[in-house]
Amino acid sequence: MNQQREKFSSRLGFILISAGCAIGLGNVWKFPYVTGKYGGAAFVLIYILFLVLLGIPILVTELSVGRASQRSVAMSMDVLEQKGTKWHYFKYFAMAGNYLLMMFYTTVAGWMLYYFIQMASGGFGGLDQDGVANIFGSMLENPALMAGFMIEVVLIGFGICSRGLQKGVEKITKVMMVLLLLLMVVLAVRSAVLEGGEEGLRFYLTPDFSALKENGILEVLFAALGQAFFTLSIGMGAIAIFGSYIDRSRSLTGEAVFITLLDTSVALMSGLIIFPACFAYGINPGAGPSLIFITLPNVFNAMPGGRLWGSLFFLFMCFAALSTVIAVFQNIISFGTDLTNASRKKVVFINLVAIILLSLPCVLGFNLLSGIQPLGAGSTVLDFEDFIVSNNILPLGSVVYVLFCSMKMGWGWDNFMAEANSGKGLRFPKSIRFYIQWILPLVVLFVFVMGYKSLFF
Ligand code: PFF
Ligand code: NA
């Protein structure tokens, strides 16, 4: 079966590519609009708290399962579980999550690609706020245009995957992550000094806890939980697969902290770019999924050399989105090759077609199917699919990973600790077993149940 598993060529390669799976649309597209919707700085504080208290330990458990089993989520629990237990059924839940994520992620990645081309060809030149918003609006009204870009994303993603891990994925991801990080610093500085932007910095950086009351604290907690898990890619085996590609020279806690730091700095920086610009151009920070697309072109228009900077920005965003898409495709391909006898080629082809078809409802949800508003007035298919993944599959899947690693009837605490701690670097503290096994899962389940109550009842 997996006699000769590919390995990453370097530690930097591993870190950057795992960060590549974590860093994506969640940081630059979703983080700003969720933060905008839930009131700014107070939300950001809760989000960071969840990252540290819940996200990092979960990330360690998931990486450990991947590294110890040397398998993707398709087979990892089969290899590690106690004889006679049923943990391995988790793969179907995880698999559903991977597909559902791609069902809307490819569409938004397609928006980035469209914006790159618009920007590079000067399509935003000289437009004011309304002109920019119109470009986004007409894109949403055009199913063929959006489907075209979505399909391109799927083709490029599978194209890179089929070139293999080191040649394709690692090389490309490494370069683009570094460039993205540098570019974001430049843009954050530029946006922070926009005239009229101070109000935005205040919104983003000075916590106003009355904003929590306005939205209902339980709903805010639920949203922050979803966003924290989404941004780290935890709960459905997407990051575990990277654990299976590395050797035991480094402890996994150190790696998890590093990935979280990289991911968080990109998210926080994109807030620094977006919020001053929102206030400078009179755009409502609660605008939802359109937020960065109606805000950013204005920033570039007002900047010397803005067309070049803007093109670079959207190009790198395409890369960031693609590196996440590639990671999830790797997972999806290994479901296929590990669970059936089909050749890799055949699995790639079937999934390529399947994901294009499965992504159509999200595309059509903005035009032909806009009458379908599953989460209440004004909501879209995208919102619904995102909700199922971020607020259901990821929290529940994360609880499964944590219990699997801490319970005797799972993989077991001692095995988990030995795996997490083998190699140089930060140790996973022994003393927090009770926290990991009981408190952490209960906190996640509490926020989940109360979040549902506040949203629907
Ligand atoms: N972490 C990715 C992002 O921030 O864009 C999204 C994601 C990838 C979520 C993989 C979940 C996952 F399994
Ligand atoms: Na992320």
Q: Following DSSP, what letter does each residue of 148-207 receive, concatenated? A: HHHHHHHHHHHHHHTT-IIIIIIHHHHHHHHHHHHHHHHHHHHHHTSTT-HHHHHHHHS-
Answer yes or no: is 3 within a domain.
Answer: no
Answer yes or no: is 381 within a domain.
Answer: yes
For ligand 1, atom 11, the nearest C-alpha belongs to: 233
How many angstroms separate the CA atoms of 232 and 208, rounded? Answer: 26
Answer yes or no: is 430 within a domain.
Answer: yes
φ, ψ at 259 (rounded to 5°): -60, -45
pLDDT for 166 equals 59
Q: In whole angstroms, how far apart are CA 205 and each of 45, 49, 227, 253, 275?
A: 9, 15, 18, 29, 10
26 lines ligand 1 (CB under 6 A): yes
The number of the ligand nearest the C-alpha atom of 260 reads 2
Answer yes or no: is 394 within a domain.
Answer: yes
The residues that bridge with 250 in the sheet, in sequence order, are 424
pLDDT for 175 equals 77
Which of the residues in the chain have pLDDT under 50?
A: 1-3
pLDDT for 1 equals 39
- If you measure from the C-alpha of residue 208 to the centroid of ligand 2, how many angstroms do you get, rounded to a whole number? 25
236 lines ligand 1 (CB under 6 A): yes
For ligand 1, atom 7, the nearest C-alpha belongs to: 233
Q: 173-178 — which CB contacts under 8 Å span 24+ positions?
A: 173/16, 173/17, 173/20, 173/319, 173/323, 173/326, 174/12, 174/13, 174/16, 174/17, 176/20, 176/316, 176/319, 176/320, 176/323, 177/16, 177/17, 177/19, 177/20, 177/23, 177/319, 177/320, 177/323, 178/16
Answer yes or no: is 4 within a domain.
Answer: no
ipTM of the complex: 0.99
Of 18, 21, 95, the residue with max ligand 1 atoms within 8 A of its CB, to mutate for a pocket test, comes to 21
Answer yes or no: is 306 within a domain.
Answer: yes
- If you measure from the C-alpha of residue 127 to the centroid of ligand 1, how many angstroms do you get, rounded to a whole number? 33
- If you measure from the C-alpha of residue 227 to the centroid of ligand 1, how many angstroms do you get, rounded to a whole number? 10
The domain that holds 113 is classified in CATH as 1.20.1740
The number of the ligand nearest the C-alpha atom of 229 reads 1
For ligand 1, atom 8, the nearest C-alpha belongs to: 233
- If you measure from the C-alpha of residue 15 to the centroid of ligand 2, how many angstroms do you get, rounded to a whole number? 14
Identify the H or E element spanning 150. Answer: helix 143-161
Answer yes or no: is 43 within a domain.
Answer: yes
pLDDT for 241 equals 84
pTM: 0.95
Number of domains in the chain: 1
Helix axes 344-364, 381-388, angle to 10 degrees: 130
- Domain hosting 105: range is 11-456
101 lines ligand 1 (CB under 6 A): yes
- If you measure from the C-alpha of residue 26 to the centroid of ligand 1, how many angstroms do you get, rounded to a whole number? 6
Give, as residue ranges, everything with CB less than 5 Å from ion ligand 2. 22, 26-27, 231, 263
pLDDT for 5 equals 58
229 lines ligand 1 (CB under 6 A): no
Answer yes or no: is 2 within a domain.
Answer: no
CB neighbourhood size of 430 (10 A): 9
24 lines ligand 1 (CB under 6 A): yes
**Hey, what are 173's tokens?**
């991801």
- If you measure from the C-alpha of residue 230 to the centroid of ligand 2, how many angstroms do you get, rounded to a whole number? 7
